[in-house]
A and B are shown apart, each in its own frame.
Chain A
Amino acid sequence: MNKRTFTSLRHEVDLWSIAAGGICLLILCPLIAVLSGMGHAAPMWEHLKETVLSDYLLNTLWLTLAVSVLAIFMALPAAWILSQFSFPGQKLFEWAMVLPLAVPTYVAAFVYRQVPEAAIPLLIQIRSRWGVDAFLFAEGFIRKGTLTVLMAAVLYPYLYLSLRTAFMVQRRGVIEAAHILGRSPASVFFSVALPLARPALIAGVSLVIMEVINDYGAVYFMGVPTLTVGIFRTWTGLGDLTSAVRLAGIMVFAVFILLALEQLQRGKAHFSEKESAPAHSNQRKLRPVKATLAFLTCLVPIGLGFLIPFIQLLYWAGLSFAHKGLGQLPWTRMGNSLLLALLTAVLLTALGVILNFAQRLHPVRALKLPIRLAGVGYAIPGAVVAVGVMIFLGKFSLIGSVYAICFGYVVRFLAVGLQPIRAGMERVCGSLDQASRVLGHSPTQTLFKINLPLIRGTLMAVVMLVFVDILKELPMTMILRPVDFDTLATLAFGLAQESRIQECAIPSLMIIFLAGTGLFSLNRLLTPPPSHTP
């Protein structure tokens, strides 16, 4: 018996690592296909270095910095207040804070484009009074400020989600101890909660940064040429894909450093994640004045990131109806969007589990490195990943199928599933799965009986996050989809390209509605009722 278990164990172990290795290889192939191009002759590289490269880098740098700081200001106070205090509207805000994630950045940009436009009369005043230099400064300030605000407003939820979880988990232990020891709330926040939440802060900020450097629509529209704009310009305008890929290489490099930093932080603060589950019972009630402030602290980010775009889109949709009557709503496109989003969400989550589980079985470098690398697609603009996917799939005549798109999504978004699932397994499973293995269960049995049930919440969260990301995804869908196949995102973008902004509001609203539904359930999952506390 013992001997049989041993052999079957070895056999299955091999299968897991082979599966993981195979998946990594499959995912890395398109990335290699495109990144290996970096070494080719890049005819325009010198020209780029001499002319525009420094602008691209500078713009990317200030934008990521500004958006990150602003996103922290939007997410951190709200996450803290919502996890510690109770006030009117608190229950609603708790989940509504994530709603801006439902708004694609490019849709927010259409709406916020009106701010610099509305400022034109003011700018004309400035020009006539203080001259052209003052005017140019004010123009840049308003435009870049609007861009920063709109991006922070739709991206802060990444930060909010990770911070709130961290604060809630902390609450019962250290924070309460600090309160009992007589610390004021402010002192608790700055000397206890904030240092403890640093890994969550860094994890959230790195997600925000990756979204910022990958954005194309908003920065292009607002006239801030970042590296991503440079990539497209070099590729499409100069016809030099190699130089474009080199620019992407700079981004990958930056993101790698970022991930390494995050890893460093995560390693140091490991203990903080093992605390008990949250409880709502003893949140402090706020007096009216402070409650009003708390209310506003939450309302402002939601207002900027969700309510304003949402209301403007509703108004446009209304105009469109008034002008053209109630046409057919794009149900088929919605079906397509749902199909792709659900299929990818489930597939990607399953792959995330397999890869992380294999790594737990074999904590060896030979697996760790390829798995870490497989997540790098998240740092590369979607269109560039899509080129790699096409080069790779072209060999098998698979381009233009639902499989091709789903595969492309997995290559691009795997990191969204990899990291939370790894963190989830580390946090919850501890040595339980090892115990199960020692007791003679096979890896598969252990996975299904121990790991999966324990991280059910994390898995559902990953499914929802991926679901939302895919609903909003545009460049890869455009390039990889089958002929005569539209999603809500491609439809919205097509209409926007034609400057039919009013009609574009309808599919945009449908995306927001579907993604909002996903986010609502995600938040339910992240906020388990107190009775769940072990």
Chain B
Amino acid sequence: MQFKQAIYTSLLSLFSLSIWAEAPLIIYSHRHYEADEALYVAFTEETGIPVQVLKAGANELMERLKAEGASSKADLFITSDAGRLGEAKALGLLAPIHSEILSTKVPQAFQDPEGTWFGFSMRARVFVYAPERVDASTLSTYEALADKQWRGRILCRSSNNIYNQSLLASIISADGKKEALSWATDVRKNMARPPQGSDRDQIRAVAAGLGDLAIVNTYYVGLMLNSPDPKDREIAQKVKIFFPNQSGRGTHVNISGGGILATSTQKENAQKFLEFMVSDFVQKSFPLNTFEYPVVRNIAWSDLQKSWGTFKTDPLNLAKLYEYGQQAVLLFNMAGWE
């Protein structure tokens, strides 16, 4: 009987989706954070516009948008990487946005020069190191990790990961293709073990003493410090964060951001959503909930972020990440960085 009920319930829930009183805003999102659900609810409360979300990988979502073509019902495309937004733009999926709020509040580097996408949260790819084995004064740049003194000491995840691809894209942009290849080759040689696992696994390996330094995104340290697992909390307390390239171009950063789909029939509401994402309310929530940085200036950071210190960011316009992204994967293949 309960079995039947479960089926009826799900059939009903399916049915009820199609009879929303007001046309909902449909978001295809690569972001998978629990805290985002609360933001959607807050948006609906503020504007009365209901929101429906489809969460999947950015590439899968783009394939789906391509296949749906003109009949797509989706209004917004959100990713956790600027490169993918650039790709969506290149595929002609995004419509230009004319919003005073977005173009003034979001820093220039974090928006498409042609205004098809805007960033709303920022993450930095930094060094996490074991303070008892690494003297912080010897740390300087990403480039310096290619030095022989790091042989067998570095930890980093697979180059399948978009964060690594974007990092190398930024290095291509700063140093050129040839330098970037030799950097990737040398860093791979300096790794304590073949690339594997997630950013968290690299932090765990540093804490356990397998390597001395890992290249990871900042918010993972925040998430581990607040993990339900006491082991994770203990590990995260053992490591320290270093922001590389401070005396040069700055630390590599990336964004989560979104664009309005060209096929959207509710571009105005979609724009309201993006503007909502850069409102003080939402910007203040990022540091506390996902440990990401706000993109809007003068928004308070969390105490944890303050304890890591302020830092200079690489001013590279993130639209370049798309331009150099594929080259980065080619270079990783050549460098033997799995």
Could you tell me if A499 and B54 are in contact, using CB atoms closer than 8 angstroms? Answer: no
Number of A-B contacts (CB under 8 A): 165
**A268 is an interface residue with CB less than 8 A from chain B:** no
Q: How distant is the Cα of A113 from the Cα of B197 in the complex, in angstroms?
A: 8
Could you tell me if A499 and B160 are in contact, using CB atoms closer than 8 angstroms? Answer: no
**B237 is an interface residue with CB less than 8 A from chain A:** no
**CB proximity to A under 8 Å, residues B24-81:** 26, 32-34, 52-60, 63-64, 66-69, 71, 73-74
Could you tell me if A339 and B11 are in contact, using CB atoms closer than 8 angstroms? Answer: yes
Q: How distant is the Cα of A239 from the Cα of B91 in the complex, in angstroms?
A: 11
**A189 is an interface residue with CB less than 8 A from chain B:** no
Q: How distant is the Cα of A497 from the Cα of B36 in the complex, in angstroms?
A: 14
**CB proximity to B under 8 Å, residues A105-122:** 113, 116-117, 120-121
**CB proximity to A under 8 Å, residues B313-338:** 325-326, 329-330, 333-334, 336, 338
Q: Give the nearest-CB partner of B70 in chain A.
A: A397
Report the minimum CB–CB distance from A509 to chain B (whole Å).
16
Could you tell me if A233 and B9 are in contact, using CB atoms closer than 8 angstroms? Answer: no
**B209 is an interface residue with CB less than 8 A from chain A:** yes
Q: Give the nearest-CB partner of A43 in chain B.
A: B326
Q: Number of B interface residues, CB 8 Å?
A: 63
CB < 8 Å neighbour of A323 from B87, B158, B223, B228: B228
Inter-chain contacts of A127 with B (CB < 8 A) = 152
Q: How distant is the Cα of A127 from the Cα of B209 in the complex, in angstroms?
A: 11
**A183 is an interface residue with CB less than 8 A from chain B:** no
Q: Give the nearest-CB partner of B198 in chain A.
A: A499
Could you tell me if A479 and B228 are in contact, using CB atoms closer than 8 angstroms? Answer: no
Could you tell me if A390 and B67 are in contact, using CB atoms closer than 8 angstroms? Answer: yes
Report the minimum CB–CB distance from A245 to chain B (whole Å).
12
CB < 8 Å neighbour of A399 from B67, B198, B334: B67
Inter-chain contacts of B3 with A (CB < 8 A) = 338
Most buried by A among B13, B152, B159, B329: B329
Report the minimum CB–CB distance from A179 to chain B (whole Å).
45
Secondary structure at the A interface, as helix, strand, loop or mixed, is helix
Most buried by B among A132, A143, A342, A484: A484
Most buried by A among B63, B64, B195, B333: B333
Q: Give the nearest-CB partner of A394 in chain B.
A: B67
B98-106, B199-207, B240-248, B250-258 - interface stretch: B199-207
Q: Give the nearest-CB partner of B35 in chain A.
A: A498
Report the minimum CB–CB distance from B322 to chain A (whole Å).
10
Q: How distant is the Cα of A499 from the Cα of B60 in the complex, in angstroms?
A: 21
Q: Mark A317-335, 1 if CB is under 8 A from B, else 0.
A: 0011011100000011011
CB < 8 Å neighbour of A223 from B17, B196, B204: B196
* Known A-B contacts A229-B160, A484-B17; A497 and B26 likewise in contact (beta carbons under 8 Å): no
Q: Mark A388-411, 1 if CB is under 8 A from B, else 0.
A: 001101100101101000000000
Could you tell me if B208 and A140 are in contact, using CB atoms closer than 8 angstroms? Answer: no
Q: Mark B200-241, 1 if CB is under 8 A from A, else 0.
A: 110011001110000000001001000111000000000000
Q: Shortest 7 CB-CB distances between A and B: which pairs?
A: A223-B196, A335-B10, A323-B228, A394-B67, A390-B67, A237-B329, A51-B333
What residues make up the interface of A, taking CB atoms closer than 8 Å to B?
A: 44, 47-48, 51-52, 55, 113, 116-117, 120-121, 123-124, 127, 132, 136, 139-140, 143, 220-223, 225, 229, 232-233, 235-239, 319-320, 322-324, 331-332, 334-336, 338-339, 342, 383, 386-387, 390-391, 393-394, 397, 399-400, 402, 475, 478-479, 481-485, 490, 494, 497-503
What residues make up the interface of B, taking CB atoms closer than 8 Å to A?
A: 3, 6-7, 9-11, 13-14, 17, 26, 32-34, 52-60, 63-64, 66-69, 71, 73-74, 87, 152, 158-160, 165, 193-198, 200-201, 204-205, 208-210, 220, 223, 227-229, 325-326, 329-330, 333-334, 336, 338
Q: What are 10 of the A-B contact pairs (CB < 8 Å)?
A: A51-B334, A223-B194, A223-B197, A237-B159, A335-B10, A339-B10, A390-B63, A397-B68, A483-B52, A483-B54
